[in-house]
Amino acid sequence: MPRIKSSIKDVRRTKTRRVRNRQAMSTVRTALRKGRTATGEAKEAAVKETIQAIDKAIQNGYLHRNTGARYKSRLTKTKKAA
């Protein structure tokens, strides 16, 4: 454990950020899974919700914009195939 006051604060900050990042990415991954596995008429709504979740993660800085674009591109390909 660090002894310097600023380092102690950094550890605390890092812990908070790690929890927040894990929650955000878990939400994105769950949305992606739902978007990929949905079938029929529910597919359209699931893809729309997934894209919104991806956009929110990009906006809040949890995903890089190119990564988000790649996810959305692959998702829309599955929509067209169905």
Q: Residue 16 belongs to what domain range? A: 5-81
What is the residue type of 81? A
* Token pair 């959305």 in the structure block, residue: 72
Confidence (pLDDT) at 40: 87
Contacts 24+ apart (CB under 8 A), 16-23: 21/62
What is the number of structural domains in the chain?
1
Whole-number Å distance between alpha carbons of 26 and 6 = 30
The alpha carbon of 8 is separated from its chain's Cα centroid by a whole number of angstroms, namely 29
Structural contact between residues 24 and 57, judged by C-beta atoms closer than 8 angstroms: yes
Give the CATH number of the domain where residue 57 resides: 1.20.58.110
Q: Which two tokens stand for residue 1?
A: 């454990």
Confidence (pLDDT) at 8: 97
Confidence (pLDDT) at 80: 80
pLDDT values of the chain reduced to their tens digit, one per residue, 82 residues: 899 999 999 999 999 999 999 999 999 999 999 999 999 889 999 999 999 999 999 999 999 999 999 999 999 998 887 6
Confidence (pLDDT) at 16: 97
